[in-house]
């Protein structure tokens, strides 16, 4: 791919692709559930054997266990129920609401438009060939620190495309719509086809200044080939420490509804990145879970 391409080959999944991916995911889920049940059953039987073993004085290694476990049991039983949230993320409704209100956690995708009052300052951190060289100031500073750390490990990471103004997004979208109009599609069909390739204004994560398309001298194209670079491997291991998450993971295509994009990283801040990565959820799922928790309280 030409590194100067303003918007990489990002593409929304077609309905047929979505159905296939959902089916594959359902199969994986059943397999995973079966495995979990097996592990759980194994754990229960292990505990039962263990309990039976504890009273036995002949098991020397088991001897300290009753003394250790007794205070824990006492402490656990003295904690009143319902104090610790029992939801998947272990957050209270207020905590979930606070996270949702964090400007760094804004969800922008083809169904969630960036709020009109979402404003920010930007700063330049793009490479020499970058098309959109800026990010939100906090994201930019974090990227520069990350780039420096990567360089110290002998890895070069470039920021190739960052913040796109809504105005710029409008021109991209209109150009693409015109392309389909010229091909003979009617206005509605042309807009729909254009939207599958270029997000309408306000619906691209690049509009909020927190999305960064990254590349490296090893692979300048913004495409799946970036996956096979030292830069990508380094990012997978360290980007979270700088507040960046992989936004469109391979196994979350049916949730994000965007094809796997190893080059597209999203700044959410260090603490949020740690929480999201620990949850194992993609950003869409994480935000939905927060919304569910917030609605409960
Ligand atoms: Zn991108």
The CATH number that applies at residue 99 is 3.30.1380.10
Cα(26) to centroid of ligand 1, in Å? 28
pLDDT digits (tens, 9 = 90+) for 54-88: 333 333 333 333 334 434 444 444 444 555 677 88
What residue numbers bound the domain in which 110 lies?
A: 15-19+88-164+204-296
Q: CA 38: distance to chain centroid?
A: 29
For residue 280, being part of any structural domain is answered with yes
Residue 152's pLDDT is: 98
Q: Say how many Å lie between the CA of residue 253 and the centre of ligand 1.
A: 15
Q: Residue 199: inside a domain, yes or no?
A: no
* Total tally of structural domains belonging to the chain: 1
The tokens for 206 are 């690049």
Residue 151 burial class via C-beta count within 10 angstroms: exposed 0-12, middle 13-18, buried 19 and up: exposed
The helix/strand/coil state of 192 is: helix
pTM for the whole structure: 0.75
Say if 285 falls within a structural domain: yes
> Is 79 a member of any domain?
no
Q: Flag whether 198 is in a domain.
A: no
8 and 222 Cβ atoms separated by less than 8 Å: yes
Identify whether 270 is part of a domain. yes
Query: pLDDT tens digits, residue range 190-212?
Result: 999 998 888 899 999 999 999 99
Cα 205 to middle of ligand 1, angstroms: 7
pLDDT at 23 over 50: yes
Whether residue 157 lies inside any domain: the answer is yes
What one-character DSSP code corresponds to residue 221? S
Active site amino acids: 261
CB atoms under 10 Å from CB of 82, counted, come to: 7
With respect to residue 41, please indicate whether it lies within any of the assigned structural domains. Answer: no
Cross-strand bridge partners of residue 265: 212, 246
Q: What percent of the chain has pLDDT over 90?
A: 66
SS3 58: coil
Distance 243 CA to ligand 1 centre (A): 16
CA dihedral defined by 134, 136, 141, 142, rounded to 10 degrees?
-110
Q: Tell me the C-alpha distance between 89 and 289, whole Å.
A: 8
């Amino acid at each position: 791919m030409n590194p100067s391409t303003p918007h990489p080959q990002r593409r929304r999944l077609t309905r047929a692709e979505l159905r296939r991916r959902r089916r594959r995911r359902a199969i994986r889920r059943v397999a995973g559930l079966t495995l979990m049940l097996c592990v759980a059953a194994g754990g229960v039987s292990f505990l039962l054997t263990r309990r039976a073993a504890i009273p036995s004085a002949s098991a020397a290694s088991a001897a300290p266990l009753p003394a250790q476990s007794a205070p824990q049991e006492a402490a656990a039983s003295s904690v009143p129920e319902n104090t610790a949230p029992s939801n998947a993320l272990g957050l209270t409704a207020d905590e979930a609401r606070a996270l949702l209100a964090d400007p760094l956690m804004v969800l922008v995708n083809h169904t969630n438009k960036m709020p009109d009052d979402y404003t920010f300052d930007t700063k330049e951190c793009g490479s020499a060939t970058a098309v959109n060289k800026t990010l939100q100031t906090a994201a930019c500073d974090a990227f520069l620190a990350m780039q420096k750390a990567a360089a110290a490990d002998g890895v070069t990471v470039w920021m190739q495309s960052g913040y796109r103004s809504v105005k710029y997004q409008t021109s991209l979208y209109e150009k693409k719509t015109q392309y389909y109009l010229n091909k003979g599609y009617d206005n509605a069909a042309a807009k729909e086809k254009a939207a599958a390739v270029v997000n309408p204004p306000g619906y691209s994560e690049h509009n909020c200044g927190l999305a960064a398309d990254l590349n490296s001298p090893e692979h300048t194209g913004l495409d799946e080939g970036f996956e096979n670079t030292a830069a990508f491997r380094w990012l997978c291991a360290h980007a979270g420490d700088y507040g960046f998450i992989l936004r469109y993971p391979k196994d979350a295509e049916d949730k994000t509804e965007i094809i796997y994009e190893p080059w597209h990283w999203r700044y959410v801040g260090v603490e949020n990145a740690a929480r999201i990565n620990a949850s194992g959820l993609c950003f869409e799922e994480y935000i939905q879970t927060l919304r569910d928790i917030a609605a409960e309280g």
